[in-house]
Structure 1
Amino acid sequence: METDMHPARIEWGGFTRSLVLGLGLVCFAPFGGASAQTGDALVFAAASLKNALDEASGAWTRDTGKRAVVSYAASNALAKQIEAGAPADLFFSADLEWMDFVASKGLIKPESRISLLGNSLVLIAPKGSAMQVDLKPGLDLAPVLGGSRLAMGHADAVPAGKYGKAALEHLGAWAGVKDRIAQTENVRAALLLVSRGEAPLGIVYKTDAVSDPNVTIVATFPEGSHPPIVYPVALTKDSSKPQAASFLDYLSSDKAKPFFEKQGFTVLSKARPGS
Structure 2
Amino acid sequence: MLKRLGFLLAALLGMICHPAFADSKIFVASSLVDVVDPLVEASNIDGLTIVVGSSSSLARQIKAGAPAGLFISANEDWAQYVADDKELRPLFSNRLVLISHEQQSIADIAQLPELLKEGRLAVADPDHVPAGIYARQALESLSVWQSLHHRLAPADNVRAAAQLVGAGAAPFGIVYQSDAQLLQLNVAYEFGADTHMPIIYWMVAMGHDQPEVGAFVSFLGSEEARDIVASYGFVPLERQ
Q: Structure 2 length normalisation: TM-score?
A: 0.91
Say whether 1:131 aligns with 2:131. no
Say whether 1:232 aligns with 2:219. no
Equivalent residue for 1:71, pick from 51, 57, 74? 51
> 1:243 — aligned with what?
212
> 1:193 — aligned with what?
164
Cα drift, residue 140 of structure 1: 4.4
Equivalent residue for 2:78, pick from 93, 98, 111? 98
> 1:208 — aligned with what?
179
Cα drift, residue 115 of structure 1: 0.2
When residues 135 and 265 of structure 1 are mapped into structure 2, their CA distance, relative to the original with a 3 A threshold, is: farther
When residues 212 and 26 of structure 1 are mapped into structure 2, their CA distance, relative to the original with a 3 A threshold, is: farther
Q: Which amino acid aligns with 1:227?
A: M
Equivalent residue for 1:114, pick from 77, 89, 100? 89
When residues 93 and 32 of structure 1 are mapped into structure 2, their CA distance, relative to the original with a 3 A threshold, is: farther
When residues 67 and 95 of structure 1 are mapped into structure 2, their CA distance, relative to the original with a 3 A threshold, is: same
Question: After superposition, where does 1:7-18 map in structure 2 within 5 Å?
Answer: 7=8
Equivalent residue for 2:28, pick from 45, 58, 64? 45
Cα drift, residue 141 of structure 1: 2.0
> Which structure is higher in helix share?
2
Structure 2 unaligned spans of 5+: none
Q: Which amino acid aligns with 1:92?
A: I
Does the Cα contact within 8 Å between 1:140 and 1:173 map onto a contact in 2? Answer: no
Cα distance in 2, alignment partners of residues 254 and 27 from structure 1: 37
> 1:181 — aligned with what?
152
Task: Give the 3-state SS of the residue equivalent to 1:255 in structure 2.
Answer: helix
Structure 1 unaligned spans of 5+: 10-23, 270-275
Task: Give the 3-state SS of the residue equivalent to 1:183 in structure 2.
Answer: strand
Does the Cα contact within 8 Å between 1:158 and 1:186 map onto a contact in 2? Answer: yes
Does the Cα contact within 8 Å between 2:121 and 2:173 map onto a contact in 1? Answer: yes
Aligned length: 237
Q: Which amino acid aligns with 1:43?
A: I
Cα drift, residue 253 of structure 1: 1.4
Q: Structure 1 length normalisation: TM-score?
A: 0.80
Cα distance in 1, alignment partners of residues 141 and 32 from structure 2: 26
Cα distance in 1, alignment partners of residues 179 and 128 from structure 2: 18
Cα distance in 1, alignment partners of residues 106 and 142 from structure 2: 12
When residues 149 and 240 of structure 1 are mapped into structure 2, their CA distance, relative to the original with a 3 A threshold, is: same
Cα distance in 2, alignment partners of residues 79 and 143 from structure 1: 37
Cα drift, residue 254 of structure 1: 1.4
When residues 5 and 74 of structure 1 are mapped into structure 2, their CA distance, relative to the original with a 3 A threshold, is: closer
Does the Cα contact within 8 Å between 1:135 and 1:171 map onto a contact in 2? Answer: no
Task: Give the 3-state SS of the residue equivalent to 1:141 in structure 2.
Answer: helix
When residues 172 and 46 of structure 1 are mapped into structure 2, their CA distance, relative to the original with a 3 A threshold, is: same
Does the Cα contact within 8 Å between 2:4 and 2:49 map onto a contact in 1? Answer: no
Cα distance in 2, alignment partners of residues 58 and 35 from structure 1: 21
